[in-house]
Chain A
Amino acid sequence: MDKSQASGKLIHSGDRRHVRRILAVSSGGGHWVELMRLIPAFEGHHTTFVTVDKAYQADVRGFDFYIVHDVTRWNKIRWLYTIVQLLKIVLMVRPHVVISTGALPGYFAVRIGKMFGCRTIWVDSLANVDELSMSGARIGKCADLWLTQWPHLAKPDGPEYAGQVI
């Protein structure tokens, strides 16, 4: 992937008022690959990435980067640990915008962001063709911009369809 344009930390305009702090959160695998494809939308802002494996840092050199414990719906006892990690990151970064491509850690991040008054974006994965992901279906009320990548899953009350990661 050409990361030469991945310069989200650069402030292009001289007007700092328009620079937003973005917290971009995803799990590994496809969720991360999808998030990487959204990077051009963050240009001109200050983006901090959060994922579950430090090896992904190589994809986002030059950006702030944190990892949290990976969790799924199956290991509920560890949820709290991830939630505390995300809380710390949100308090430290103070993002204007929290965006996630899933899965559960991203869901928590969006909910925490909402609690702290951030504007929130959920981009449900391309993999969810027949129905939204479990997180994606439940995040509707907390996501200010709630997107599906499949037109047939869009509804008048959300989620909205606005294109795909490809």
Chain B
Amino acid sequence: MTFLLESVFNGMSIGAVLLLTALGLAIVFGIMGVINLAHGELMMLGAYTTFMVQNGFRQLGEGWFDAYLLIAVPLAFAVAAGVGVLLERGVIRYLYGRPLETLLATWGVSLILQQLVRSISWQMTLQIALFCLLFFGGRWFLSKRAIAPRWQAWVTPVLMVLSVGIGLTAGLVAGGAVGLAMTKPWFGAQGVDVTAPSWLRGGVNLWGVQFPFVRLLIIALTAVCLVAIYLFLLRSQWGLRIRAVTQNRSMSACLGIPTQTVDALTFALGSGLAGVAGCAISLLGSVSPNTGQNYIVEAFMVVVVGGVGKIVGSIVAALGIGLVNYVIGSGLMTRFLEPQTALFDFFEFFASTSMARVMVFILIIAFLQLRPAGLFPQKGRTVDA
């Protein structure tokens, strides 16, 4: 009995983290058909936001420190959603209908975000701000004047070179003048640690099974996110519009739904959920610039197994994969089997975290042989479009 309870709980807590990371993907991938490989980096941004909020609250004193999660979760959502909107408006909207290109472009964004977190400093902030001011300001300014057609092709390259040059040198000069306070990276390449508030330490012991509070909180957070998404998609005005655009984009546009705003909103929602997921994983272990990479592929697996476009599928798939992962990885199966039999050796071989992943993938491939479109496939004529 204890075994059963323990494995269900641990499987659920692995599944909850998976689900929280996959939820945003399920929305972006399922509803918009966009593969966002930068999703993991949006999680990482959420985790770093949590880290900064935690540092801020530590300055305020011990009593305040315990409450930082109340601010960190919404702020992580906001930061990730903001970056998500920038990403959608700046890159992805040019690539709708070309999923493979989107995949490559978002991978490029994820590399840039990783390196940005590693090397961001006041100097770099200054450089980026100056560049944006000069380049976009210059373009806006010039778009108001009439330019001879023969020179129009020169505008962007010249502005680009000028603003990169001025931005870089100004940053270098300022960095040389002020010194280390300006050039020291904020986070660096090393991981940072988020300390859980005191009320999250420890756990509760029921029926001989330990339930850590952190794990319980993550399960609760996942549940809250799920309920919120369902309410938003099924009960709100914009949720209705999102569902309409998912079903038939051109008809929705004809009926006056602003599809571009809907796209941006959907992407912001998915990215924001990634931020919340990042907040959750920051409680589980140290956070480094490539944290996101560890979660992204399994999250995609959840979406594929669940069936694209169905959030229910993602829920079932996440919990299922989490459970299988735990049962195989912890060597639970070997407890029930006779040692020295073939089956025992088989499960013994896969009884580690990394080998459990191997097993899970084999199971997923086998599963896709039976149900190529996932657990809850979309039905209808528009599917293959």
Are A and B interaction partners?
no
